[in-house]
Structure 1
Amino acid sequence: MTTSRATLDGDRPGTGPTLPPGGQRRRLYLAGLPKPVARARAYAAQAVADWSWPTSASGAEEDIVLLVAELVANAMLHAGGPVDLVLDASEARLRIEVSDRSTVLPEPRNPHRPGLPGGHGLFIVQKAATRWGALPHAEGKTVWAEIDTRPPHPGG
């Protein structure tokens, strides 16, 4: 698991998305649908708009859509296609989950290998997410990424 500095710190300190009490979980089934990356991007963009996600100079809204696109594209390229996309939003963080039917866990590659294409998907996920990982389960695995909605506390 890798950590970067991405946060959704909003225009005003301490502001977060507009969510129902307890947050909200949305699921989009992608198995067998044409153009799953485009569908997932549009779904995530609509969720971010519905939740009035905080705007930020760092482009957090674009980071969310980028993370969704990368996770779904990785499922397409390496796992036979995505099964579903889950967006789980709370006042503290947004968790993006993409499930597929492969039991092979993702392994980041060095995208800067001269003469060899690829390796950028998880590199982008590592840079844009606060945390990421993969959970195996009976039907395959779920690759997830989280973005915190608030900046980390000083000293911790």
Structure 2
Amino acid sequence: MVFDGLTDQVSRSRDFTRRALTAWHWLPAGTPEVVEAVEDVLLLVSELVANACRHGGGPGALVLDCTEDRLRVEVTDRSPQPPVPPGSRTGSGARPGAADGWPGGYGLLIVERLGRAWGSRPGAVGKCVWAEVPCPPEVRRPPEPRARAELSGGRPARR
């Protein structure tokens, strides 16, 4: 999903993710485990896009990459600064964002708790922050050779 000119970026990214999860047979969820996995993916997408809005000069793109055993969420932004891992913050241990008066500040902690892995890498412009979650056993089937979901200019893009 490319965000140029889009408003309501977090809600649009969640809608896009729901459509991709439906195409990959995660939805409609048939078991409590799949319901929980879907909720985790939607929360990861929300947090990564919100972090790009707040700290990265706005999100550039959202890519979902599903293999047989994991789903990877990638969000690009314009800032070259890597995210600060929750365990390495300096100071009194206060939540990030407390000093600047903004609410929240728990995004990467949530990403760290929900994802089995997460990280960032430099991009041509800015960076890409990613997180991975395991596919629930109920939906583990080889997707069409490595299914990717992207949106360009508001329409699905094939890769």
TM-score, reference length from structure 2: 0.70
CA contact (8 A) 2:115 2:131 kept: yes
How big is the shift at 1:109? Answer: 3.8
Identify the residue that residue 46 of structure 2 maps to in structure 1. Answer: 69
- Which residues of 2 match residues 31-70 of structure 1 at below 5 A? 31-53=4-26, 55-58=30-33, 59-70=36-47
Aligned partner of residue 30 in structure 1, secondary structure = coil
Mapped contact 2:47–2:107 kept (Cα < 8 A): yes
Q: 1:55 to 1:96 in 2, by over 3 A?
A: farther
Cα deviation 1:48-90 (Å, max 9, x = unaligned): 1111126553400010011001000000000110000000001
- Structure 2: distance between partners of 1:109 and 1:55: 34
Flag structure 1 segments of 5+ consecutive residues without an equivalent. Answer: 1-27, 152-156
- Post-superposition shift, 1:150? 5.4
Q: How many residues align?
A: 124
Question: Separation in 2 of the partners of 1:32 and 1:128?
Answer: 30
Partner of 1:13: none
Aligned to 2:135: 149
Aligned partners of 1:94 and 1:146 also within 8 Å:
yes
Distance in 1 between residues matched to 2:86 and 2:5, nearest whole Å: 28
* Separation in 2, partners of 1:124, 1:142: 17
Could you tell me how far apart the structure 1 residues matched to 2:62 and 2:123 are? 16
Percent of aligned positions that are identical: 47
Distance in structure 2 (CA, Å) of the matches to 1:55 and 1:65: 17
Change (3 A) 1:118 1:41: same
User: 1:106–1:90: structure 2 CA closer, same or farther, 3 Å change rule?
Assistant: same
Q: Distance in 1 between matches of 2:14 and 2:8?
A: 10
Structure 2 regions of 5+ residues with no counterpart? 138-159
Tell me the alpha carbon deviations over residues 83-128 of structure 1, each in whole angstroms, 9 at most, x when there is no partner: 0000000111100000011101000347972793533000000111
Which runs of at least 4 in structure 1 moved beyond 6 Å after TM superposition?
A: none
Moved more, 99-108 or 50-59: 50-59
- TM-score, with structure 1 as normaliser: 0.72
Structure with the higher helix share, 1 or 2: 2
User: Superposed, which structure 2 residues align to 1:100-139 within 5 Å?
Assistant: 100-109=77-86, 113=94, 116=98, 117-139=103-125
Q: 1:107 to 1:55 in 2, by over 3 A?
A: farther
